[in-house]
Structure formats: C-alpha cells, structure tokens
C-alpha cells in the first residue's frame, strides 16, 4: 500500500468514502501518508424518513456523520465541493472539473480514487463526479500520478448483483465487474480493518441504519461486499 503514496479520494455523497475506500484511507493514515477526501454534496436529499429526518436538517446531519466517519478512519483532510445533493448532473462539467482540479493541484496526489463510468451504482451525481475527476486528473495531476476507478471484482459476489438491483442499490447498467487479473488495486480487508470500516459506515447512521433495517438480508452481505476494495487503472499522468 505504500506504493500508493498520497491518496485523494473523490466521491459524491457522505458515506461513499466509507463504502468504497475506507480500508485504503485508513491504511494510508496508519502509515503516516497523506490521505484526503473530496465530497461533492452534503447528502441533502438522503432522508429515509422525513418525519424523523426532515430534509431541511439532512445537510447538517450528514455533515456531522461525515466528520464522525472520517475520524474513525483517521482522515483529517476533507474538501466539500458544496453542490446540492441530486443536482450534480445539472452542473456544467467545466465548473465541476475546475473545482476538483484546484484540489488536485493543491494536494498533488500520487493516487486518485473515484467512480468509474458506471458511477458504481448509476447515480447521476456519481456519474458527474466521475466526469469531473477524470478531466481534472488530466488537467492538474502531477507527473506519475495514477487514476483508479472503483469496480466489483468478478467472482461469487456477482450472484448478489441482481438482488441488489432489485432493491435499487445498483441500476441496470452498474456495477462494472472486473476480473481479478485486470485490477490495479485489490485490497482484502483484515478483520481489524473491516471492523474500522463497519464503524465508519455506522457513523453514517441516517443512511446505513435504515438501509439494513429495511433489508435485513443486507446485514451479512455488508461484510461480503465491503471486504474488498477493488479498482482498475484508468490513467497514468505522463
């Protein structure tokens, strides 16, 4: 993991960082390497129960949850793009790209992690962040930096994908499934790292709790799906 150097993870919503990169971020901080996270929105549209979590409170609540999740992982550097949840698709790509490029230029990462062209789940905000980060990497990344897209590793987990589509975790065009020999990063979390990752996910209580409560079958699947953090190499900056 030391070969990843400084890591910058660019995601759309609070909790994306925990699902897709918690183990990698935690290892970076444990190794004393710089790890930074970018989040495009504060998750304002993420209420599962508007009586319990009024939409007007969601941005503030999910900001607090994000801070708690990052604290679990030891990440102290976080950047908001300050877009509103579920509106990223309407943002001009040049604007979103410029914001991400400015952060890349400041952080000078060796490794950039983000969504692939499927947006992992097909969410329009994820797709926008994919486009912005890909273009920003080309514009502002230092020489030798690498851009990696999140994927699902091929294997037994593929059998679960149709069920997860049925409960709207993935759309019909996601996720990208990549064979193990095509992966650039494939971290299998140790029990200690998995415990940290689950604590980071649980810190997003307004999201993680209702998801599992509404779909009890997910309790076991959470371990299976989240024990690997897998990426394919998208680009290396000359």
pLDDT given for residue 194 in this prediction: 96
pLDDT given for residue 51 in this prediction: 87
Which of these, 220, 127, 138, 216, lies nearest to 175 by C-alpha position? 127
Query: Cα(86)–Cα(46) distance, rounded to whole angstroms?
Result: 9
As given in the structure block, the two tokens for residue 94 are 């040049």
pLDDT given for residue 219 in this prediction: 79
Structural domain span for residue 106: 2-236
Provide the β-strand partners of residue 9: 37, 113
Q: Is the dihedral of CA 157, 159, 164, 169 positive or negative?
A: positive
Query: Cα(68)–Cα(37) distance, rounded to whole angstroms?
Result: 14
- What CATH number does residue 169 fall under? 3.40.50.10320
Residue 195 makes CB contacts below 8 A (sequence gap 6+) with: none
Asked whether the beta carbons of 59 and 44 are under 8 A apart, the reply is yes
Provide the β-strand partners of residue 149: 114, 232
Strands 146-153 and 228-236: antiparallel
Query: Cα(74)–Cα(30) distance, rounded to whole angstroms?
Result: 8
Which residue's structure tokens are 């699947």? Answer: 221
Asked whether the beta carbons of 116 and 149 are under 8 A apart, the reply is yes
For residue 5, is it left (φ>0), alpha (ψ between -120 and 50) or beta?
A: left
Q: For the chain, 238 residues long, give each residue's pLDDT as a single digit of tens.
A: 679 999 999 999 999 999 999 999 999 999 999 999 999 999 999 999 888 889 899 999 999 999 999 999 999 999 999 999 999 999 999 999 999 999 999 999 999 999 999 999 999 999 999 999 999 999 999 999 999 999 999 999 999 999 999 999 999 999 999 999 999 999 999 999 999 999 999 999 999 999 988 888 887 788 888 999 999 999 999 9
Which of these, 220, 212, 171, 204, lies nearest to 46 by C-alpha position? 204
Question: What phi and psi values does residue 116 have, to the nearest 5 degrees?
Answer: -85, -175
pLDDT given for residue 225 in this prediction: 87
Asked whether the beta carbons of 1 and 28 are under 8 A apart, the reply is yes
pTM summary value: 0.97
As given in the structure block, the two tokens for residue 216 are 């009890």
Domain count, the chain: 1
């Amino acid at each position: 993991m030391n070969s990843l150097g400084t890591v910058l993870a660019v995601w759309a919503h609070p909790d994306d960082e925990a699902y897709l990169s918690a183990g990698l971020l935690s290892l970076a901080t444990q190794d004393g390497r710089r790890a930074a996270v970018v989040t495009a929105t504060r998750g304002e549209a993420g209420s599962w129960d508007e009586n319990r979590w009024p939409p007007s409170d969601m941005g503030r609540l999910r900001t607090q949850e994000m801070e708690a999740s990052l604290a679990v992982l030891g990440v102290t550097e976080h950047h908001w793009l300050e877009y509103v949840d579920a509106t990223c698709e309407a943002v001009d790509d040049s604007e979103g790209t410029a914001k991400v490029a400015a952060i890349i230029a400041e952080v000078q990462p060796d490794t950039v992690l983000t969504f692939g062209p499927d947006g992992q789940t097909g969410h329009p905000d994820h797709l926008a962040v994919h486009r912005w980060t890909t273009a920003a990497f080309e514009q502002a990344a230092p020489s030798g930096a690498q851009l990696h897209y999140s994927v699902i590793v091929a294997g037994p987990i593929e059998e679960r994908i149709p069920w997860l589509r049925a409960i709207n975790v993935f759309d019909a065009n996601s996720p990208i499934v990549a064979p193990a020999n095509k992966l650039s990063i494939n971290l299998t979390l140790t029990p200690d790292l998995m415990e940290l990752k689950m604590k980071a996910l649980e810190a997003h209580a307004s999201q993680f709790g209702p998801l599992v409560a509404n779909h009890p079958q997910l309790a076991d699947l959470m371990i299976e799906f989240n024990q690997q953090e897998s990426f394919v190499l998208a680009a290396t900056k000359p």
